[in-house]
Structure 1
Amino acid sequence: MKVSLTIPLTVASVVALAAAAPNSLVNSRRATSVDLTVARQTSSKVDFGVTAFIENNINSGSDGGLYAELIKSRALQSEGDGLTNSWTGNNADISVITSDAISNVLPRSLRIAKKGSPSSFGVRNVGWAGIAAKPGKYSLTLSARCNAATSTTATAGLYDAQRKALGSAQVPLALTNSWKEFKATIQVAGGNNVASNQFGLDFPGNFASEQCQFNLISLFPETFKGTTARQDLAQLLADLKPKYWRVIGGNALEGNNLASRFQWQQAIGPLKNRPGRAGTWIDWDTDGYGLDEAHRLGEAVGAKAIPGVFAGYTLNQQSVPDDQLQPYIDSAVNELHYLLDPQGSSTWAKQREANGHAAPYNLAAVQVGNEDWISEAAIKTYQTRYPRFANAIKAAFPNLLVMSSSPYPTPKTQLAAIDQHDYNTPNFFLGAYDRYDTWARNATTIWNLEMAVTNSGKCGETPQIDALSGPCRLTYPIQLGAVAEFTAMMGMERNSDVVKTFAYAPLLNKIGNGLSQWHPDLISFDAVDSWPSASYWAQYAFGQYGIDSLYKITSSVAYKPVYWSAGKQGNLDVIKLSNSGADPVTVTVKADGAQYNPNAAGSLILSAHNDAYASNTPENRQNIKPTRRNTSAKDFVNGAFRITLPAYSLAAVKLARA
């Protein structure tokens, strides 16, 4: 994701797009009505679904985002001394000390010394660009020690900009010269809907705090289904009904250098044993959203995991020498033992159980590395790195699908699965509607684990322009982009023997100065709120309207600008439609040899906007909001379903045959 480069799997797709006139697929004008007939029986099984890919660190999407921790720099890991832009004193001087550390990997702790003779003193934390104080329970934990045994009662709370307490709790502290953990619950009754709140920890004026030190001061709101995830963001992801869950992957897996790569053994277990690492994209990655946290959240939303394993390449274009690679291979295999070994069957399985997850996780595949086409150095060494990792994994887990992060340079006939990444224009994705119809069936499956319309295409098409660093790069997803992505997914779903998934990337975008590094993104958020993009509704429609088997369709006209697909989910027919054109088109769908029942329970989603380049922005968050409703008798004519697709629209409907 870090380079402005897209390498497609075939030269033919590049040539075809280069030959197309700009916006040729978008502006195709055909009939103002389309008649579709859905076959009597399904023709094939479908194995396709949405993937949710949460890349750690990018756009403040994990720390300060999906990972619900409200305290920034809880272990003083962030930004230089760990205090800057995080902690301030309240009638107190604060400093960092490195003696008597809580653990070998967290050397810093916080010292609080009162100034003068205040009645109370303490510290404040501003959170990750603010703290929302919403009604509910907030779970506080903190660790502390003193040079000599002492006791006091601290007050922990959330305070608004006028220092009014929105909720607080008394925290009895019986302190010794050993580190101890303390817990409390802060109850917020009314709260407020702003981000200008702070967390406070205060002590009575007679407490000799300068003899003490504090660390891992942590505050979590109520989270999603008992995970560590922020409720609103996790719910938006769950509503996509993702089939797959990509963790931990992307550039955050590789790191900018060897020291900052993802090291799974340092991202499990108690927080005091997690050193974190320099962020690939921003500041510091605490690895609080670590291996177990990521996999547990995937379980909570009902998805199968696709973990990535570090494969010996980092983003400074350095590869681990071949004669030094074996420890990294062993680490990757051990990571999979930790994730997959049956309960109690191995040292790693017992470690997983000790960390709170007795049963093995459910994996769909494992990916070796990430974007190992990203540089000549990566390509050159991947031809030796990939087989060594893949062979070791297959020897230990013969039934686990092993996925290559690059189609180069290994012949595709030797690869069971390939991760393909495409960031491009609407035309590119509209062209994917039939791209896979004639794709070679050579036992290699394609997993599109990073996809997005990143460029409007108004400045030209690839390869004449760079869809990432060239002109007309998007800030937020546009309606036409959502239609194009939805259309591409229809073509992929129709060819699910070859193409298994589509993952929009990145998923999360925190609004604020310097908080986000990549755009466009599926979901935007701040400390208080979150809102879906136009592209979110394309993913949502596909997840909510998934199919188990595919129908063939006959049509009265050729596709463009209207596209379609049909399948079956349980006992219901699922019809998906899109219109990439500037004019409305009426579509009539009938079932061959049957009628659709106008009185049966059916549902519809329709997302449209008359401006192809419209977006949901922080200033206009609901600019694009789909219609979601049940079908009614007025949607049917003589046993056929009829809908007028507005300009730049996508739709999905569930219908029952009579």
Structure 2
Amino acid sequence: MWSKALSASAFAATAHAVSVSVASEGGNATSPYAYGFMFEDINNSGDGGVYAELVHNRAFQGDPIFPKNLDYWNSLGGAGLSLQNLSKPLSSALPTSMQVSADNATSDTIGFSNEGFWGFPVVSGWQYNGSFWVYGGLDGNVTICLSSYDDKVFAETSVEVSSTSEWRQYNYTFHPSESAPDSNNTLNFTFASSDLKDSVNFNLLSLFPPTYNDRPNGLRIDLMEAIDGLYPSFFRMPGGNNMEGLQSPYWWNWTNTIGPLTQRPGYPGTWEYENTNGLGLIEHLLWAQDLGMEPMLGVWAGLWLDGEVVPEDELQVYVQSALDELEFLMGDASTEWGSYRESLGYGPFEIGFVEIGNEDSLNDGASTYAAYRFQAFHDAIRDAYPDITIIASYFDVKGSTPPDNAAGDFHQYAAPQLMSSEFGYFDNYTSEHPVVIGEYAVTYYPDGDTTQVGQGNFAPYWQGSVAEAIFLLGAERNSDKIIGSAYAPSFQNLNRWEWIPDLIEFDANPEHTTMSTSWEMIHLLSGTRITENLPMSITDGGFGPAYFVAGRSNDTGSHIAKLAVYNATSEIPFQLNFDGVGSGAMANLTYLTAPMNASNPIGGSAVEKHIDTVTAGDDGTFSFQLPPYSVAVLEVGAKDAGEGKDYSGHDSRHGWQGCRSFGKGGSHGGSWGKHGHGWSA
């Protein structure tokens, strides 16, 4: 996920009429994974984002890169707060606790407060579930409340705590009496100073709002609903540079992300903050289940971001870790790791795709990846799990295609002029080595007529989103070669970010969650799936400034065209007909428009959605116009094809062959549901 300097010409194109005839046979079955979702914890998108935990720095985790601290905690009533490593810690994974003393108390009531991830949402009707661990000399009631910065209390409860020589967990719930007007709220813990004997220690202080599908340790509802609106079919996870680690010995070690929260030590994330590991491996897989996405599992491949690489003679332990991870996810109760998963209460998961590393061409990693790292992981995984599709973390391993019919990951960050020119980028790729477009985005504003690297744009903007649409339509028309695509990064916390632009913006207040212009474009294109691309004959016009693909859906019987118009000088007239669709046929035309440089405002939208009905003429031709900088879908329903034709149940293909043509992987797609509409075991 690193920037690229690019250069290309960009001139407004003269608008010409486009006439297209779509054949009824001779096409290619498309990938069922055409649109997916990629996640890494960047921009506080995991902790402080989709992971619904509301308490910031809940367990005082840290390391030499990000030392442990009391950030986001504040004293109340003059209480003394300090970090302690007790001889009896909560756990070996969480050895540091916050000690509270009354030596310098200024009030009869003392305690501490947490700032949250830049505030706390307080919503009437929500049930909040909290817990904390205590060790030491405290006998009495601890009052916990959510209150505003000016001390208005919205929710309050008390928990009776007694001194103990062992760590003890206490649980509580909240039901706010009213909603707060904003997220400028804190979580407060107070008790009588007279109830404190010497000092008391707290650790793993947690508070969750309602979560998606009511899962414990779960995910934030509004952000999950935003993802669901993309209709994603695959989930690239844990994904991105955050998997790799800044330096030895740190990497996203999956074994530190499973089991009880007390056993998860945290991790110095790549993006300048400590990760709690609360959003662990199992949570990622449940996330995939809840949204009907097939996991595309990334495994660490021995490259740290400072350029250090695991030597060949030391690599086997990490190869074995990848095999153990797959056994943990897929193994039955007779296996060591499968048995441990069962003990946690989960049955086996299905994994159809494994990506070896992430961007292993970075920092001179390409030579060792090609020489020994990729092959070591590839051979071990292929021998143990021959049905898994293995993906190289970049496409041109060894200067050409990935070895041994593996797939390759392609990342593209560009200015709109370049991305809009890449409609035909994948035309000469081969289905023997399918491509995952694991990350893409328009990341710059145009600078004059060239794509000089300039000011990064804060949020996606419409010209860039249309350019992305052209790139995606190019992937769709090559869907026998392209497994699928995913925008990156997915989330941006408006209070802290390391990378812009991002697909979805948010902060602690759910009312501020913002789906970007690119989200709206993907929502349209992903929401209507072509299952069979069909050949097109273009009798007038051509590609540029209008771009299009066409085919049909064997799920719905619909005939579909997807279109994008980039920098045209005026509206473009289209004449479009489908072989087998007759006069009087009815088509729904949905298209999106916005000002070229418009980004969606916080909590709102600058994109206008137009819905028209188009009736085919005597020769079955649909005539319509699209304005410059528009993205459109035209769909002829199975029962609306004209002349009494009904394509319900029509099917002329026998499944996507992009991965299966060489007998590997992607074979579990059916059991994971379709396009984010539920998972079936």
TM-score normalized by structure 2? 0.86
* Residue of 199, 205, 210 corresponding to 1:222: 210
Distance 2:551 2:288 in 1: 26
> Counterparts of 1:5 and 1:159 in 2: how far apart (Å)?
46
Structure 2 vs 1, CA of residues 325 and 612 (structure 1 numbering), >3 Å: closer, same or farther?
A: same
SS of the residue 2:345 aligns to: coil
Instruction: Indicate if the aligned counterparts of 1:476 and 1:520 stay in contact, CA closer than 8 A.
Output: yes
1:309 aligns with 2:299: yes
Higher alpha-carbon deviation: 471-480 or 216-225: 471-480
* Residue of structure 1 equivalent to 2:240: 250
User: Taking structure 1 as reference, are residues 460 and 594 closer, same or farther at Cα in structure 2, changes over 3 Å only?
Assistant: closer
Q: Is contact 1:90-1:124 (8 Å) kept?
A: no
Specify the code of the residue in structure 1 equivalent to 2:3. S
Give the equivalent residue in structure 1 for 2:499. 518
Given the alignment, which residue of 26, 36, 56 partners 1:51?
A: 36
Distance (Å, rounded) in 1 between the aligned partners of 2:341 and 2:584: 51
Q: Are the equivalent residues in 1 in contact too, given 2:584–2:617 (CA < 8 A)? A: no
Partner of 1:647: 628
1:332 paired residue among 314, 322, 332: 322
Distance 1:207 1:377, change over 3 A: same
Superposition map of 1:536-547 within 5 A = 536-547=519-530
1:368 lines up with 2:356 in the alignment: yes
- What corresponds to 2:647 in structure 1? none
Which range is displaced more, 448-457 or 63-72? Answer: 448-457
Alpha carbons 1:161, 1:196 under 8 Å: kept = yes
Cα deviation for residue 459 of structure 1 reads: 4.5
Q: How many angstroms apart in 1 are the aligned matches of 2:164 and 2:274?
A: 31
SS in structure 2 of the partner of residue 219 of structure 1:
strand
**Residue of 96, 99, 103 corresponding to 2:83:** 96
Measure, in 2, the Cα distance between the counterparts of 1:109 and 1:82: 10
Cα deviation code 1:620-644 (max 9, x no counterpart) = x535234165x54x66666654443
Which residue is equivalent to 2:558?
Answer: 572
Alignment partners' CA distance in 1, 2:40 and 2:259: 20
Aligned-partner SS, 2:165: coil
Alignment check: 8 A CA contact 1:383 1:410 kept:
no
* 1:196-275 superposed matches below 5 A: 196-208=184-196, 210-227=198-215, 228-275=218-265
Aligned partner of 2:573 among 586, 589, 592: 586
- Shift of residue 650 of structure 1? 0.5
Distance 1:576 1:561 in 2: 14
Kindly state the Cα deviation for residue 121 of structure 1 after the two structures are TM-superposed. Answer: 2.3
Show the counterpart of 1:170. Answer: 158
8 Å Cα contact 2:438-2:485 kept in structure 1: yes
* CA-to-aligned-CA distance 1:5-51 (integer Å, 9 cap, x gap): 48xxxxxxxxxx96xx5114xx22231x4333333347221114112
Report deviation, 1:442.
Answer: 5.9
CA distance in 2, matches of 1:399, 1:557: 44
Partner of 1:37: 21
Secondary structure class of the residue paired with 1:379: helix
Distance 1:587 1:518 in 2: 39
Which residue of structure 2 lines up, in the alignment, with residue 532 of structure 1?
Answer: 515
Q: Alignment partner of 2:110: what SS? A: strand
Distance 1:461 1:383, change over 3 A: farther
Q: Give the distance between the partners of 1:597 and 1:286, measured in 2 at CA.
A: 60
SS of 2:24 mapped into structure 1: strand
- Partner residue of 1:137? 127
Contact 2:409/2:436 (<8 A) preserved = yes
Q: Which runs of 5 or more structure 1 residues have no equivalent in the other structure?
A: 7-16
- The amino acid across from 2:208 in the alignment is F
Give the direction of change, closer, same or farther, for the CA distance of 1:588–1:203 in structure 2 (3 Å limit): farther
The Cα offsets for residues 389-439 of structure 1, whole Å up to 9 and x where unpaired, read as 1111111111111111122326526241001111112222222212223x1
Residues 112 and 643 of structure 1: is their aligned pair in 2 closer, same or farther, counting only changes over 3 Å?
farther
CA RMSD of aligned residues (A): 2.3
Q: CA deviation at 1:240?
A: 0.6
Post-superposition offset of 1:260: 2.4
1:244-643 matches, within 5 Å, as 244-342=234-332, 344-358=333-347, 360-406=348-394, 407-409=396-398, 411-412=400-401, 414=403, 415-437=405-427, 439-441=428-430, 443-459=432-448, 461=450, 465=452, 470-512=453-495, 515-528=496-509, 529-555=512-538, 556-569=540-553, 570-582=556-568, 583-595=570-582, 605-609=590-594, 611-618=595-602, 621-627=603-609, 632=613, 640-643=621-624
Spell out the pairing of 1:68-217 with structure 2 (5 A cutoff): 68-77=52-61, 80-99=67-86, 100-114=88-102, 115-116=104-105, 118-135=107-124, 136-146=126-136, 151-208=139-196, 210-217=198-205
**CA offset at residue 90 of structure 1?**
4.3
Is this contact kept in 2: 1:245–1:298, CA < 8 A? Answer: yes
Query: How far apart are the structure 1 equivalents of 2:169 and 2:483?
Result: 46
Q: Structure 1: how far apart are the matches of 2:381 and 2:250?
A: 24
Give a deviation string over 1:183-220, Cα, whole Å, max 9, x none: 11111232124121111122234321643211110001
Contact conserved, 2:533 with 2:550, CA < 8 A, in 1? yes
In the alignment, residue 482 of structure 2 is paired with which amino acid?
V
- What is the DSSP-based 3-state SS (H/G/I as helix, E as strand, rest coil) of the residue aligned with 1:334? helix
In structure 2, distance between residues paired with 1:246 and 1:596: 44
Structure 1 residues 606 and 134, CA gap change in structure 2 (3 angstroms): farther
Q: Distance in 1 between matches of 2:115 and 2:197?
A: 22
SS of residue paired to 2:224? helix
Question: Alpha-carbon deviation of 1:128?
Answer: 0.9
Residues 340-382 of structure 1 show CA distances to partners (whole Å, capped at 9, x for unaligned) of 223x131211211223322x22323101111111122443454
For 2:485 and 2:601, how far apart are their aligned partners in 1?
Answer: 24
More off after superposition, 378-387 vs 493-502? 378-387
Residues 381/557 of structure 1: CA separation in 2 closer, same or farther (3 Å cut): closer
Contact 1:319 1:381 in 2 (8 A): no
Alignment partners' CA distance in 1, 2:263 and 2:277: 10
**Contact 1:110–1:215 (Cα < 8 Å) also in 2:** yes
C-alpha contact (below 8 Å) 2:469/2:631 kept by paired residues: yes
Identity %: 27
* Contact 1:459–1:471 under 8 Å retained in 2: no
Whether the 8 Å contact between 2:505 and 2:516 is mirrored in structure 1 is: yes
Residue 87 to residue 588, structure 1, CA distance change in 2 (3 Å): farther
**1:641 & 1:577 partners in 2: Cα distance?**
14
Q: Secondary structure at the match of 1:236?
A: helix
CA distance in 2, matches of 1:42, 1:223: 47
Q: What residue in structure 2 maps to residue 10 of structure 1? A: none
Cα offset, 1:253, TM superposition: 0.8
Deviations 1:301-329 (A, max 9, x none): 10001111111110010001111111111
- State the partner residue of 2:648: none
Judged with a 3 Å threshold, the aligned counterparts in structure 2 of structure 1 residues 317 and 117 are, in CA distance, closer, same or farther, namely closer
What is the identity, as a one-letter code, of the residue corresponding to 1:522?
L
Q: Quick one: structure 1 residues 145 and 655, their matched pair in 2 at CA, closer, same or farther if it must change by over 3 Å?
A: same
Q: Which amino acid aligns with 2:201?
A: Q
Q: Secondary structure of 2:501's partner?
A: coil
Give, as a single letter, the amino acid of the residue that structure 2 aligns with 1:65. Answer: G
More deviation, 61-70/171-180: 171-180
Equivalences, count: 621
Which secondary structure state, in structure 1, belongs to the residue aligned with residue 195 of structure 2? coil
Measured in 2, the distance between the counterparts of 1:242 and 1:334 equals: 28
Contact map agreement 2:55 2:205 (CA 8 A) in 1: yes
